Amino acid sequence: MKKYLIVLLSAVMIISCTVVLAACGSTDSNKPNTPNTPQEQTQQLTTPTNLAVNNATASWVAVANANGYTVRIGTTEHQVASGTTFDLSSVTLAEGTYQVSVKAVGQTVGNIRYTDSAYSSPVDYVVKATVKEGTYRLTTVTFDGKTYDVTKADEARDFYKTLIIKGAILELQAIYPGYDFNSIIVLKFFFADELDFTGITTAAQFWDAFIELFISTDQNTEDGLNNSIKGITTAHLIINNNIMTAYDEQTGLSAPTAFTLNNGVITLANPSAVGMTSSTLTYTDGVITETATNADLGFILTLIATYELIPAV
């Protein structure tokens, strides 16, 4: 009997194990087959090499797997979507020396995430000030506290007449020191024999009448005045490859002169070529300003002329 029970229990255990194994086998067969997914890797791109700047163009060696580049000029960054060059002149920069460096921009390729490279060692980029090439037209003249739009013939005439009057007054004061030629009393004393003062009660009226009388009695003066006005209204400066020439309809084209620009000041190699022996020239973004001082007659006349770059069509 005891032997029978032992055999029976053994049979039950065998059956139980068979059922469990069958169940386990059934469960595993229902699971889907899933491939192993590789882990994403992170890798920093190589720093660009051989950075060089020539003729305002930065260039470097391409970096594998880069998604473009970032060029840093000083502290500002500029993106390069493709290629391995960057036109530095496309960035408006003040005169000076700037450090330029470049880095590769990362991207994800497959299971590898490439991060940006470090910036390359910087190279110097020297920006020299230049005057924009083109034709500059004389637009305004400031003289004796008033600004004239000399592109208009009537204002150019007013300016030139004022210039003549002011020069005459200063010359008379140099010859006759102590007399005020802006005083109608003094003017009547000196010019009573030359001009009828009927209706003239101020110095300004006298000088207007004096100029008109002077012109009306001398056709050459009228011609000279008209030519001077024409010279003013058509005055231009022409800039090409650091060479300046001047032009107006009265005198035509001047001789050329080379020039340099430093800290906004234009220095002419031969000022007499363009009639600016007593002038100081400055330049700011498309505008040339001439400060002219004439002290040839023992007194000083100063005027400020503005030349503006004519936009290209």
Q: What is the CATH number of the domain that holds 71?
A: 2.60.40.10
Q: How far is Cα 29 from Cα 32, in angstroms, rounded to an integer? A: 8
Nearest in space to 140 (alpha carbons), one of 271, 290, 7: 290
- What global pTM score does this model have? 0.62
- Is residue 59 domain-resident? yes
75-102 confidence digits (pLDDT tens)? 999 999 999 999 998 998 888 899 999 9
- Is residue 19 domain-resident? no
Distances (CA, A) of 85 to 126, 189, 195, 301: 17, 78, 75, 53
- 115 plus 186 within the same structural domain: no
CB 95 within 8 A of CB 127: yes
- 155 plus 115 within the same structural domain: no
- 118 plus 266 within the same structural domain: no
> 65-79, 86-100, 190-204: which range is least confident on average?
190-204
* Structural domains counted in the chain: 2
- 251 plus 228 within the same structural domain: yes
Residue 212 pLDDT level (bands cut at 50, 70, 90): confident
Q: What angle (nearest 5°) sits at the alpha carbon of residue 37, between those of residues 32 and 41? A: 170
Res 215: pLDDT: 64
- 286 plus 150 within the same structural domain: yes
The strand ranges marked E within the chain are 41-44, 52-54, 57-59, 69-73, 76-80, 85-87, 96-104, 108-109, 112-115, 123-127, 134-143, 146-149, 236-240, 243-248, 252-253, 257-262, 265-268, 279-284, 287-294, 301-309
9-40 confidence digits (pLDDT tens)? 344 444 444 433 344 444 444 555 555 667 88
- 86 plus 118 within the same structural domain: yes
- Is residue 21 domain-resident? no
Kindly calculate the radius of gyration of the chain based on its CA atoms and give it in whole angstroms: 43
Res 5: pLDDT: 37
Nearest in space to 88 (alpha carbons), one of 134, 139, 37, 126: 126
Nearest in space to 66 (alpha carbons), one of 46, 86, 49: 46
Query: Is 48 in a helix, a strand, or coil?
Result: coil
Chain mean pLDDT for the chain: 85
- Concatenated DSSP letters for 178-221? T--TTSHHHHHHHHTTTS--TT--SHHHHHHHHHHHHHHT-HHH
- 240 plus 171 within the same structural domain: yes
- 277 plus 154 within the same structural domain: yes
CB 132 within 8 A of CB 239: yes
Picking from 127, 146, 174, the residue at the C-terminal end of a domain is 127
**In which domain, by residue range, is 122 found?**
41-127
- Is residue 141 domain-resident? yes
Res 93: pLDDT: 87
- Is residue 140 domain-resident? yes
Q: How far is Cα 102 from Cα 62, in angstroms, rounded to an integer? A: 11
Res 216: pLDDT: 60
- 49 plus 186 within the same structural domain: no
Q: What is the mean pLDDT of residues 209-226?
A: 67
What are the backbone dihedrals phi and psi of residue 44, each rounded to the nearest 5 degrees, phi first? -80, 135
Picking from 81, 96, 127, the residue at the C-terminal end of a domain is 127
Res 218: pLDDT: 53
Q: Which residue has the tokens 């000279």?
A: 224
- Is residue 1 domain-resident? no
CB 181 within 8 A of CB 258: no
Q: How far is Cα 95 from Cα 127, in angstroms, rounded to an integer? A: 5
Q: How far is Cα 129 from Cα 169, in angstroms, rounded to an integer? A: 41
Percentage of residues of the chain with pLDDT beyond 90: 56
- 237 plus 192 within the same structural domain: yes
- 265 plus 174 within the same structural domain: yes
- 107 plus 212 within the same structural domain: no
220-267 confidence digits (pLDDT tens)? 556 667 778 888 999 999 999 899 999 998 889 999 999 999 888 999
More confident residue, 300 or 183: 183
156: which 2 tokens?
């150019």
- Is residue 185 domain-resident? yes
Picking from 127, 159, 194, the residue at the C-terminal end of a domain is 127
End-to-end CA distance of the chain: 121
Nearest in space to 182 (alpha carbons), one of 192, 170, 193, 194: 170
- Is residue 225 domain-resident? yes
